[in-house]
Structure formats: structure tokens, C-alpha cells
Structure 1
Amino acid sequence: MTGRRRWAAALLAVASLVAVGPFVLMLLVALSPGSAPTLPNRLPDSLTGDNLAGVLSTESFLRWTATTVIYSVVSVVAVLLSASMAAYVFARKRFAGREVLLWSLLSTMMVPFHALLMPSVVVISRLGWSGTYAGLIVPTLANAQAVLLLRQFIAALPDEVFDAARVDGAGDWRVYLSIVLPLCRPVLATLAVFVFLWHWNDFLWPLVVAQSDEMRTLTVGLSTLEAGHLTAGQLMASATVTGVPCLLVFVLLQRHLVRTIGFTGSGR
């Protein structure tokens, strides 16, 4: 190994420790016995799962988890379906005003979410969706980034595949279901990771829309617990349990990330 590679490996090792260190400390605090953690003064003498067991048995925490799961999973499915349909139209259909519509959609990426927060709240309130799953999920489904990524992927697919399907008499729905979706599995998996992490960790929108304790997500619920009389170990146990689904989703689907970057590097 050359000197340059040794320095690169050392820098990567340091960067890994910096990135993983806070999570290790969080887990140690969550597993520390007693009302106060021993970190950073010294490592705990023993580890216990009492804090984790207490969090998992809390009724509010389980209710917030269920709300967050519904919010995240439904949003992932809805975003992938709607974005893939729009991307197929923009990539493979020819119609008047296509470029104008595409650039109009992409221009929404330059508008900060905070600028749309109050108008969205007003619309949700007038529709009677405040404090409901519809109000929580529907406004987050328009995802221009997902449409752009899928559009680039579909545009890079060989024309011969679509021409053969047309020769066989396949309509748009058959092409979409039998060709587009199967071929887009890598990019769909990648988008599923991003959309899931975004909704699972979302704080501002659920905070504004949720009108009751039942509709709170984990991020909002944990912020209320932090204001209470919980120990640091219990707070870190809550954060640990909350982060496990994100880690599992990333580990299961991360192999698709590199494939997606390679396929979407060129488009038309």
C-alpha cells in the first residue's frame, strides 16, 4: 500500500469514527443503568435494557410509532407510483407543452418549503383535513426530485424495448406496468430509501398538521417527551428505537444506490 493510500485510509477511518461515534454514545447512554448516564466521564460499568423496555411499553410511543409507519409507508408507495407515472409521460410521450410542464414542475424545487407552509395549512384547514392522515400525507406527495430522477432513468432506456411493446399491441398501461416498473426497480428502491427517511424524520409538517396526541409522529412526540421529566437514558433509548427502522431500510436497499447513479448519469 502506497503512502497516499495509507493517508486516504487513515482519513476514511477518522471520518468513519466521527460519523459513527455519536450513535455509539447514544446507544451507550440508552443502555446505561440508573437515572443518569456515566458518559462522558467514564464508560458504564454494566449495560441494561430497562430504558429500551420502558420506551417500548409506553402507550404514547407505540401510538406515535404506528402513526409514523402509516405516514412513511403510504407516502413512499404514493410518491413512487405518482412520480413514476409522471416520469414515464415526460420521458416517452410527445405532446404540446411537454417541456413547459416539465420545467414548471422542476421550478418548484427552487421554492422553499417554509414559503408554502402557511398556504398549505390554510388549504388543509378549509378541506377539513386538519388532524387527519389525508392532511398529513397528501400535501407531501408532489415530489419534483423523484419525477426528475425517474424521468432521467426512463429516458435512458433503449427505444427498442418500447418499440417492441408497441408492435405487440401493448397500450400505455401495459407498457408502464410490464416494462417501466420492472426496469425501474433500482431507482425506485433508491427513491424509497430517500422518501422513507424524509417522512420518518419529518418534524415541521407533522407538528403543524397534528391536532391531537394520536396524530403525532415520533419526531413530534419525542420533542414533547424531552420537555418532560425523563432521564437522559430514556431519551436516548427513544432516539435509538426511532433510528432502527431508518438503518434497516438503508441496509436493505443501499445496494441499489450505486446502480441508480450509474444508470441516471445520462439522459435525453
Structure 2
Amino acid sequence: MTQVTTTRLGLRRRSYLALEPTPVGVLLRWIGLGIAAIACFFPFYAMVVLSLKPGLAVEFPSSLMPWNLSTESYEQVLGGQNVLVWLGNTLIYSIVSVAAVLLLSAMAGYAFAKKRFAGKEVMFWSFLAMVMVPFHVTLIPTFIVLAKLGGVDTYWGLILPTLANAQAVFLMRQFIQGLPDELFEAARIDGASELRIFFTIVLPLCKPVLATLGIFVFLWHWNDFLWPLIMAKSSNMWTLTVGISSLQQQNVPLSVMLAGSVVALVPIFFAYLLAQRYVQEGVATSGIKG
């Protein structure tokens, strides 16, 4: 028996050694990853460099060299255009929508995962069926209803239709289902109300999924073009995507348009940096901390 066990351990060690990469394999892997990183980074590099070269004809590859740079395009964007107004509109649209979607989806996910009530499964799967309905199908009816309610050129008209997010509810429900029921039972025995359980137990344990979901919802709202284009008629209510698109119709130089794109990219970058720590947290780690 001991000899058989030793033989098996020896075979496992040999298989592990066979799986270890050779120096040539490691080098090829790093070369491949480097090429992939350069390919992903190159569009952003080109956008930044070309935005810093106003009034010059684009010639490749000389236009991509980092010299003769000027901030004239950024001064024109931030000074002459309504980019700051569009940026404020986009921040309000994105941040308020993210906060509302996360709160409502967490509440709905907690109810569908841990509460018992009649018709729960039918209601959940009926709500989830919204995923199969394209947004463009409901676009015109939604606009007609909000227009009659006075929602055109208003923030609430932009935000309200985006709050019922079936994907967010589904993700929150699946995550909360994995939380131990003993936590909620112990809290109820201690006399905690449902709101206190939700805000002091459910939300702290859901930090990883809330951060991940928040990034996706923020990106979706930040890059949204069709709905703000329809609901915002005046230029003072445009978002960055609509405003930057309008610059193309005004025969604005390419460097100015790229400068506006860089300005629109910066908040997304910082949003990811702020949420990165929570995205990397595991469920077990967050449970111990909570």
C-alpha cells in the first residue's frame, strides 16, 4: 500500500514538473502579452498625441511622435465649447442612475433571494424576461409617455427609464442567494428590522458585486448616446456623447474632437481606479470584514 501511494505521488510530481513552463515558453508568453498590451494601448496613445497636435495634417507615422505638442485643442474645448456643461450633465445622469440602480436592484435581489411571498418565482422570471426585449422596441412608447409627463429636457426624464435593470436584479439575486441564512436569522433574533438587516448586513457583504455592477452601469450610462439624443433637445442638456458627436457636424478640427474624447475618458479611468479594490475582494473576505 505504501509503495503504491509513493508511486502515485511520484507520478503526480512528474506531471506537475511537466506542466511547469520552460524559460523559452515564459519568454514567448511575455512577448505575446506585451504585443497584446501595445495593441490595446495604441488607440489611446494615438488619441492623446493627435489631440495635442492642433492645426497639423495627420501623417502616419510622423504624427504619432510625441513632439511639437500643444494644449491649444484642450483650451478650445474647455473654453469655447459647452464641454463642461455636457460633462456635468453626464456626471449627473451617470452617478444618480448608478446609485439608484444599485439600491433598487439590491433591494429587489434581497427580496427575491431571501424573502418568501406568493408568486415570487413567477414575478422574478417575468421581470427577467425584459432582458429578451430590445430597448429599441420600447423606445417610442417610453418617449411618448415621458413627453406627455413633461420629461423632455429634464434630468428625471433621462434617468427614470433606466432604473428598471433586469440584469442588475438577476446578478444581485444570485449573489445574495449564496449568503448564509444564519446571519439574517441571528439578526432577526436580536430584534433587527428588515431595513437594518439590509443596510448593515446585505449591503456590506455585497460590496464586490456592487462595485462590479456599478462599473458596468456607469459605463453604460456614460457611453449612452441614443436615449440622451432623443430626450435632450437643447444643447444645455446634452451629454458628452451627444455633444462630441455634434462637433463633427460643425466642421471642428480632428484635434478638438479628440481632445473632447480624452476629457470624456478621464472620469471613466478614475471610476475604475476607485472601484478596483472592491472588485478584487472575494466573497469570503468581504464576509469576514463585514
**Whole-Å Cα distance in 2 between the matches of residues 175 and 117 of structure 1?**
37
Q: What are the superposed Cα offsets for residues 118-175 of structure 1, whole Å, 9 maximum, x if unpaired?
A: 1111111122211211111000111111111111111111111111101001111111
- For residue 157 of structure 1, the aligned residue among 167, 179, 194 is 179
111-120 or 216-225, larger mean C-alpha shift: 111-120
TM-score by length of 2: 0.85
Structure with more relative contact order (C-alpha pairs < 8 Å, separation 6 or more): 1
**Whole-Å Cα distance in 2 between the matches of residues 39 and 236 of structure 1?**
17
How far 1:81 sits from its partner (Å)?
A: 0.9
Question: Please, what is the CA RMSD of the aligned residues?
Answer: 1.9
**Whole-Å Cα distance in 1 between the matches of residues 173 and 202 of structure 2?**
11
How far 1:260 sits from its partner (Å)?
A: 6.0
Matched, 1:31 2:36: no
Contact 2:208 2:280 in 1 (8 A): no
Name the residue aligned to 2:200. 178
Alignment length, in residue pairs? 263
Matched, 1:243 2:265: yes
Name the residue aligned to 2:10. none
Name the residue aligned to 2:150. 128
TM-score by length of 1: 0.92
Contact 1:35 1:232 in 2 (8 A): no
How far 1:114 sits from its partner (Å)?
A: 1.2
How far 1:229 sits from its partner (Å)?
A: 2.3
- For residue 6 of structure 1, the aligned residue among 27, 32, 42 is 27
Contact 1:36 1:233 in 2 (8 A): no
Contact 2:48 2:262 in 1 (8 A): yes
How far 1:37 sits from its partner (Å)?
A: 3.9
**Whole-Å Cα distance in 2 between the matches of residues 161 and 55 of structure 1?**
53
Name the residue aligned to 2:75. 53
**Whole-Å Cα distance in 2 between the matches of residues 252 and 44 of structure 1?**
29
Letter in 2 for 1:90: F
- For residue 210 of structure 1, the aligned residue among 210, 232, 246 is 232
Contact 1:190 1:260 in 2 (8 A): no
Letter in 1 for 2:121: E
Gaps of 5+ in 2: 1-20, 286-290
Write the mapping of 1:6-155 to structure 2, written as runs, cut at 5 A: 6-42=27-63, 43=65, 45-155=67-177
Q: Look at both structures and tell me which one has the larger radius of gyration over its CA atoms.
A: 2
Q: SS of the counterpart of 1:34? A: coil
Identity across the alignment (%): 48
Q: What are the superposed Cα offsets for residues 239-264 of structure 1, whole Å, 9 maximum, x if unpaired?
A: 1111111111112212333446899x
